[in-house]
Amino acid sequence: MNQILKRTFLPGLMAVSLAGVTLVPAKPATADDQVIRDAAIGAGTCVVTGAIRRRGTVLRNAAKCAAAGAVVNGANGLRRNPKKRSIIQDAAVGAGTSAGTRAILGGREDTAGDLLDGAAAGAVINILGR
């Protein structure tokens, strides 16, 4: 009976402890919190805009604008004065990245919608990032 319990519960216990250690860290070690925040804002924005437009899957919409959020954050870091953010530039960077990511991911052609989603993500990141 003891061997049966060890063979049944030990692999599950090891998997859960490994997942707890690797997948749920208390604080990201290498990633910048600002990049993660902007990627999450972008992903959430595209999920909402995709649902409103009834286009794309939740996962694809989240992926394309999470990338847009990270690139908008990077573009803001490259500016001479990162505190002075332009909503037009952020929307343009988000739109371009969203359309480019959709081209990489594949799927139905909806370039105007991808541009709209990315622009919305860039604008929301700009507004919430102040």
Q: Is the pLDDT of residue 38 over 60?
A: yes
Lowest mean pLDDT among 16-20, 60-64, 118-122: 16-20
pLDDT score recorded for residue 19: 47
Structure tokens given for 108: 């139905």
Rounded mean pLDDT, 70-82: 77
**Residue pLDDT, tens place only, 89-115:** 889 999 999 888 888 887 777 888 888
pTM over 0.85: no
**Cβ contacts of residue 44 below 8 Å, gap of 6+?**
62
Structure tokens given for 114: 């991808």
pLDDT bracket for residue 13 (50, 70, 90): very low
Structure tokens given for 14: 């090891």
Q: What is the largest CA-CA distance in the chain?
A: 68
Q: What share of the chain is helix, strand, coil (3-state, %, to 5)?
A: 75, 0, 25
